[in-house]
Amino acid sequence: MILLVSQALLDLGDGMWSGHCEGALQLLKARGPYNVNDPFETQLVLLVRGPIFLEGLFNEKIVVSPSDGQDYDPSVGPFLQCLNKMHDYMRRWCLVQGSSSCDDPTLLEEARDCYKQSMLAVEHWRKTMMVVDTKLAAGSTAKLAYASAAVSRFYTLLVSVTVILCDIVSAIDHVNSAIIREMKLSLIAETVVLMEGVSRHGPMGVTHVSFVLGACWIGAEDGPTACAIEDSAIEHRKSAYAAPEMKELFPKMALAARMFHQRLQPRQSAPDSAKVLDYFDEEAAWA
């Protein structure tokens, strides 16, 4: 947090906004193991590791190992466990990306299983959200309103992580790539709809919107889909309670998207990858 505040005060130039997570990772490594029996300490580590794991998908200077997520209780850090797996998949994929398909059968099997488990979780929480919203529509109470906001926040965060996972798995799983990408676009469209009424949960219930829309924008594969996400962000910014970082969200995401998709593309298919990356060019999209 101190690194992030200092970075904001220094007003670093374009492309320098991502460095604070590199510093945070070094602090965690220097600190050593934390006390898993201390809830307060656990929450602090979770809050720091979350941005590190996320940014590490785009920043090659951030290197984490599979063991970095083994000490998480499933009920405490499910997102971090998923992000940690995604790190491992990307690292192993980069080792074999000289070809257009994955030659590591273990990686392929693990990636497919992770995608399957994520989609099962998405379906479970979608049903949970529908049940809570049905009860809320039948009779609004403060307790139900809070539950609705919490479930909606968790569900959209889960979907946004799954969107990024879909990109990783579709690069590895060449056989099922088209199906996975189609599902990803369906999840993005659903998320854009869910974002329409999220401002009613403000001010504290909208802090996740920047991450959710940013992840969906990175997962967009065409102009119309990206424009729909951008329009959603514009409408959200007009609301009484807008999420932080919305003003500069997409210029920053453009840089992250290019780094992310460049890491996923097989080296020998560079000419084709250029077509996919065109939309994420900062000057073209945000001139």
Supply 186's token pair. Answer: 């369906």
CB 80 within 8 A of CB 55: no
Q: What is the C-alpha radius of gyration for the chain, rounded to an integer number of angstroms?
A: 19
Instruction: Label residue 97 by pLDDT band (50, 70, 90).
Output: low
Residue for token pair 């979770």:
46
For 144-287, where are the E strands, in sequence order? Answer: none
CA distance between the termini of the chain:
31
| Whether pTM exceeds 0.85 | no
C-beta atoms surrounding 189 within 10 Å: 13
Report whether the peptide linkage leading into residue 203 is cis, meaning its omega lies within 30 degrees of zero.
yes
**pLDDT, tens digit, 9 for 90 and up, residues 228-287:** 999 998 888 888 777 767 777 888 788 788 888 887 876 544 444 444 445 555 444 443
85: pLDDT strictly greater than 70? yes
DSSP secondary structure letter of residue 243: P
pLDDT, residue 12, reads: 47
- Running DSSP on this structure, what letter comes out for residue 242? P
Q: What gap in Å lies between CA 187 and CA 163, rounded to an integer? A: 7
The per-residue pLDDT of the chain, averaged, comes to: 75
H-helix or E-strand spanning residue 152: helix 142-172
Amino acid present at 161: V
Specify the 3-state DSSP secondary structure of 275.
helix
In this structure, what DSSP letter does residue 42 have?
A: H
Sketch the domain layout of the chain as residue ranges: 106-287
Q: In Å, how far from its chain's centre is CA 284?
A: 23
Question: For residue 236, what are its two tokens?
Answer: 């959200």
Identify which has the larger pLDDT, 70 or 225: 225
pLDDT at 146 (0 to 100): 85
The per-residue pLDDT for range 139-186, each reduced to its tens digit, is 878 888 888 888 888 899 889 989 999 999 998 898 999 999 999 999
Whether 161 contacts 83, CB under 8 Å:
yes
pLDDT over 70 (residue 123): yes
